Amino acid sequence: MSLPPFDWVVTEYGQVVLRVCRALLPMHDAEDAAADAFLAALEAYPRIRPDSDVKAWLVTIAHRKAVDILRRRARHAVPVADVPERASGGEPSLADEALWAAVRDLPGKQRQAVAYHYVADLAYADVGAIMGTSEAAARRSAADGIKALRLRYPSASVAPDQSKPNKEMS
Amino acid sequence: MNDLERLLAGPEAGDDQAMERLRAALASRAQEQNLLDIAYRTIDSPVGSLLIAATPEGLIRVAYARQGHDAVLTGLAERVSPRVLFAPGKLDDAARQFDDYFARRRHGFDLAVDLRLAEGFRRTVLQHLPDVHYGRTVSYGELAALVGHPRAARAVGTACATNPIPLVIPCHRVVLSDGSPGAYIGGPEIKRTLLDLEHSEIA
C-alpha cells in the first residue's frame, strides 16, 4: 500500500483544518496557520505510515502551529483584541464570524476541546492525546465549552434556521 | 445534533474561497521550501482535458483523459514522490505552449523534460523523437533504423505506447508502414486529429 498524492489530502481535509484554525485563532492568523500546518505536513508526508489517521495527524500539527502563534503573540506587544475582521475575499456570514469569536473567547482548554471534537469531529481519545490530557478531561472541557457557548451565543439555538418564516415579512 | 453543533461542524459560506487561498499559499510556500516535488494542473484542449505534471527538473508527465488523471497522479506519487500538489501557476508557461500548439502558433515545445519514467531503449527512442519534425511522419521501422536498431520496430512501438510525455515528445508522428496512423496513447482518433492539425498547416 502506498501513499496517495498529497493533493488529495488537501482536498479532503483542507476545510476541516481551516475551520479548526479559525476556532483557535483570529482569521488572518487562522489562514496562515492552516497553510503552515499543511506545509509541515507536506514535508513529513513521505514518512507517515499509509494506514495513519490522517485527520488526527493534521489536527495535531495545526494545534502545534496555533499554540506557537498564540505564544508568540503573548510575548510580543499588547494582544490586539478581536477587532472587526476584514473578510479577505470570502464572505463569511456575520452569524458565523460571531460564533468563531465566541469560540475564541473560551478558555484555552475548552476552546481546543470544542475545536477538535465539535469542529474536527475527532474522538475524545484523540482530542485528549492532542491536548496532552486524558480522554475524560477532554470530554469535560468540550462539554463545559459548549455550555459556555450556549450562554454567550444563544442565537445559535434558534436563529440560523432559514426555513422558518420571517416574522417581519408578514 | 443541535444548531450550535451543526454550525461548528460546518460548512459555511466562504469556505470555498478560503480553500482556494489555502491551496495558493501552500503551493507557493512549498515551492520556496523545495517541497514541491510534483506540480500538476489540467488544461482544456481540442483533444480533451490534458493533465500536465512537472518536477523541478522539468515536465515529467502529460496524460489524456482516457488514461485516468487520478490513476496517473497515483502512479507519480508511487514512483516519484507523494509530494504532489495542484500548482497551476508553476505550469503557466507549459499551458501557454500547449494552447499555442493547438492554435497552430507554435510547431514545437520549448520545455525542459524529466525523462526518469522511461529507461533503457525506450528512453533512447523518446530522445530521438523530437528529430521527427512537425508535419512529418516516420514508420516504426524507420524510427528503429534511426536509433540504430533497424530490427527493433516492435520495441519502438512499445516505447511510443509508454511515452510519459506525449505531444511534447511527438510519438503521434510515428505511423504504420502503409501510412495509416495506427495505435496511440490518447486513442487513434486523437492521433488522426493531431496529424491533420499538423499536416493542414504544412499543406
Residue B140 inside a domain? The answer is: yes
pLDDT beyond 90 at A168:
no
Model confidence over B159-182: pLDDT tens digits?
A: 999 999 999 999 999 999 998 999
B71 touches chain A (CB under 8 A): no
The three three-digit cell numbers of residue B27, written as one number: 503551493
Are B87 and B155 contained in the same domain? no
Residue B126: per-residue pLDDT? 97
Q: Answer with the one of B73, B102, B131 that is the final residue of a domain.
A: B102
The answer to whether the Cβ–Cβ distance between B25 and A32 falls below 8 Å is yes
Q: How confident is the model at residue A55 (pLDDT cuts 50, 70, 90)?
A: very high
Task: Spell out the long-range contacts of A115-119 with Cβ–Cβ below 8 A and sequence spacing 24 or more.
Answer: A115/A20, A115/A23, A115/A24, A116/A20, A116/A59, A116/A63, A117/A142, A118/A142, A118/A146, A118/B5, A118/B8, A118/B9, A119/A16, A119/A19, A119/A20, A119/A23, A119/B8, A119/B9, A119/B10
Among residues A76, A44, A82, the alpha carbon closest in space to that of A60 is found at A44
Q: Answer with the one of B102, B133, B158 that is the final residue of a domain.
A: B102
Model confidence over A112-136: pLDDT tens digits?
A: 999 999 999 999 999 999 999 999 9
Residue B108 inside a domain? The answer is: no
Measure in Å the smallest separation between the Cα of B40 and chain A Cα atoms: 10
Among residues A142, A92, A97, A136, the alpha carbon closest in space to that of A121 is found at A142
Give the sign of the dihedral formed by CA A15, CA A21, CA A23, CA A28: negative
* Mean pLDDT for all residues in chain B: 94
Are B8 and B97 contained in the same domain? yes
The three three-digit cell numbers of residue B3, written as one number: 444548531
Measure in Å the smallest separation between the Cα of A57 and chain B Cα atoms: 16
Alpha-helical regions (H) of B38-119: 69-79, 92-102
Helix (H) or strand (E) segment spanning residue A2? none
**Cα B200 to Cα B75: distance, rounded to the nearest angstrom:** 36
Residue B62 inside a domain? The answer is: yes
Amino acid at A66: A
The three three-digit cell numbers of residue B43, written as one number: 488544461
Q: Does residue B84 contact residue B73 with C-beta atoms inside 8 Å?
A: yes
Residue B84 inside a domain? The answer is: yes
User: What share of chain B in percent tops pLDDT 70?
Assistant: 98
Are B8 and B77 contained in the same domain? yes
Residue B136 inside a domain? The answer is: yes
B133 touches chain A (CB under 8 A): no
> Which residue bears the cell 464570524?
A97
| ipTM for this model | 0.92
Residue B33 inside a domain? The answer is: yes
Are B53 and B124 contained in the same domain? no
Task: Give the bridge partners for B41, in sequence order.
Answer: B52
State the total domains in chain B: 2
Which residues of chain A make contact with B15, given a CB cutoff of 8 A?
15, 18-19, 90
Which residues of chain B make contact with A145, given a CB cutoff of 8 A?
none
SS3 A158: coil
Interface test with B, best of A2, A6, A88, A151 (most B CBs within 10 A): A6
Residue B109 inside a domain? The answer is: no
Here the CATH number for the domain that contains residue B187 is 1.10.10.10
Model confidence over B82-135: pLDDT tens digits?
A: 999 999 999 999 999 999 999 999 999 999 999 999 999 999 999 999 999 999
Distance of CA B61 to the CA centre of its chain: 4
Range of the domain at B89: 3-102
> Which residue bears the cell 473560551?
A106
Give the CA angle between residues B96, B100, B105 to the nearest 5°: 150
Which residues of chain B make contact with A33, given a CB cutoff of 8 A?
none
